[in-house]
Chain A
Amino acid sequence: MDRTIAIDVNRLCKSYDGHKAVDDLSFQVYAGEIFGLLGPNGAGKSTTLRTLITLLHPTSGTATVLGHDTVREADLVRTLFGYVPQERAIDRFLTGREHLELLGALYHLTKEEAAKRIAELLKLVELEEHADRPAKTYSGGMKRKLDIACGLLPNPKILFLDEPTLGLDVQSRLRIWDYIRMLKARGMTVVMTTNYLDEADQLCDRLAIIDCGKVKTIGSPAELKVALGGDIVSLTIKETGRLGSLAAAITGQPAIRTVNTTATGLDIRVESAEKALPAILEAANKLDCRLDFIDYHRPRLDDVFIAHTGRSLRDAAPAEETT
Chain B
Amino acid sequence: MAHYWQEIEALTLRWVRRLSREKFSMLFTLVQPMLFWLIFFGNLFQRAADVQVTQAPNYISFLAAGVVVMTVLNNGLAGGVDLLFDKENGFLERLMSAPIHRSSVILSRFIFVMTITSLQVLVILGIAFLFGVHPATGLLGVAMILLIGMLFGVGLTAISMAMAFSVKSHGDFFSVLGFLSLPMIFLSSALVPLTAMPTWMSVLAQFNPMTWAIDAVRPLILTNWGDALPHVGMAVVVMLVFDALCLYGGAKAFRRAMG
Pairwise interchain contact A78-B91, C-beta atoms closer than 8 A:
no
Q: By the criterion CB–CB under 8 Å, are B90 and A102 in contact? A: no
Nearest Cβ in chain B — how far from A151, in angstroms? 9
Once A89-B94, A134-B21 are accepted as A-B contacts, the answer to whether A106 and B259 lie under 8 Å apart by CB is: no
CA distance A134 to B100 in the complex (A): 25
B99 x A75 contact (CB < 8 A): yes
Bound-state Cα–Cα, A164 to B99, Å: 22
- Report the minimum CB–CB distance from A302 to chain B (whole Å): 29
- Out of B14, B99, B258, name the residue touching A91 (CB < 8 Å): B14
Q: Give the docked Cα–Cα distance between A103 and B94 (Å).
A: 9
Whole-angstrom distance between the Cβ of A79 and the nearest chain B Cβ: 5
Contacting chain A: which of B5-13, B117-125, B204-212? B5-13
Known: A55-B259, A91-B91, A93-B17. A102 touches B99 (CB 8 A): no
* Contact present for B90 and A78 (CB under 8 Å): no
CA of A90 to CA of B89, assembled, Å: 8
B25 — nearest CB in chain A belongs to which residue? A93
List chain B residues, Cβ under 8 A from A101: 10
Q: Which residues of B contact A119 (CB under 8 A)?
A: none
Rounded to whole angstroms, the CA-CA distance of A256 and B33 in the bound complex is 74
Is B18's CB under 8 angstroms from A91's CB?
Answer: yes
Q: A85-B90, A91-B18, A103-B98 are in contact. Are A55 and B258 (CB under 8 A)?
A: yes
Write the chain A residue with the least CB distance to B9.
A105
Cross-chain contact B93 with A56 (CB below 8 angstroms): no
Q: Measured between alpha carbons, how far is A135 from B6 in the docked complex, in Å?
A: 23
CB-CB contacts below 8 Å: B17-35 with A: 17-18, 21-22
Tell me, in angstroms, the Cα distance from A104 to B99 when the chains sit together. Answer: 11
Taking the closest CB of chain B, its distance from the CB of A95, in whole angstroms, is: 9
CA distance A56 to B100 in the complex (A): 16
Picked from A79, A83, A105, the residue with its CB within 8 Å of the CB of B10 is A105
Interface size on A, residues (CB 8 A): 32
- Whether A105 contacts B7 by the Cβ 8 Å rule is yes
Q: Of A57, A81, A86, A93, which is within 8 A of B90 by CB?
A: A86
What's the dominant secondary structure at chain B's contact region?
Answer: helix
Q: Which of A88, A108, A154 contacts B3 (CB 8 A)?
A: A108
Chain B residues with CB under 8 Å of A54's CB are: 97, 259
Task: Contacts A54-B259, A85-B90 given; indicate if A106 touches B17 (C-beta within 8 A).
Answer: no
Query: Interface of chain A, helix or strand or loop or mixed?
Result: loop
Task: Tell me whether B94 and A83 are in contact (CB under 8 A).
Answer: yes
Contact A106 B18 (CB under 8 A): no
Binary interface encoding of chain B residues 60-97 relative to chain A, with 1 for a CB under 8 A from any of its CBs, else 0: 00000000000000000000000000000111011111
Q: For residue B99, which residues in chain A have a CB less than 8 angstroms away from its CB?
A: 75, 78-79, 106-108
Q: Contact at B91–A90, with CB atoms within 8 Å? A: yes
Q: Are B89 and A88 in contact (CB under 8 A)?
A: yes
Find out whether the CB atom of B93 lies under 8 angstroms from the CB atom of A85.
Answer: yes
Contacts of A56 in B (CB 8 A): 259
User: Which residues of A sit under 8 angstroms from B95, Cβ to Cβ?
Assistant: 106
Q: Are B6 and A105 in contact (CB under 8 A)?
A: yes
Contacts of A102 in B (CB 8 A): 10-11, 13-14
Residue of B nearest to A55 (CB): B259
Determine the residue in chain A with the shortest Cβ distance to B86: A91
- Pair B97/A55 contact, Cβ less than 8 Å: yes
A-B contact pairs, 24 of them (CB 8 A): A50-B93, A54-B259, A55-B96, A56-B259, A78-B98, A81-B97, A85-B94, A86-B90, A90-B89, A91-B14, A91-B18, A93-B17, A93-B21, A93-B22, A94-B17, A102-B10, A102-B11, A103-B98, A105-B6, A105-B9, A106-B10, A106-B100, A107-B99, A150-B94
What are the nearest 10 A-B pairs in CB distance? A105-B10, A89-B90, A78-B99, A106-B98, A93-B21, A85-B90, A83-B97, A53-B97, A93-B18, A79-B99
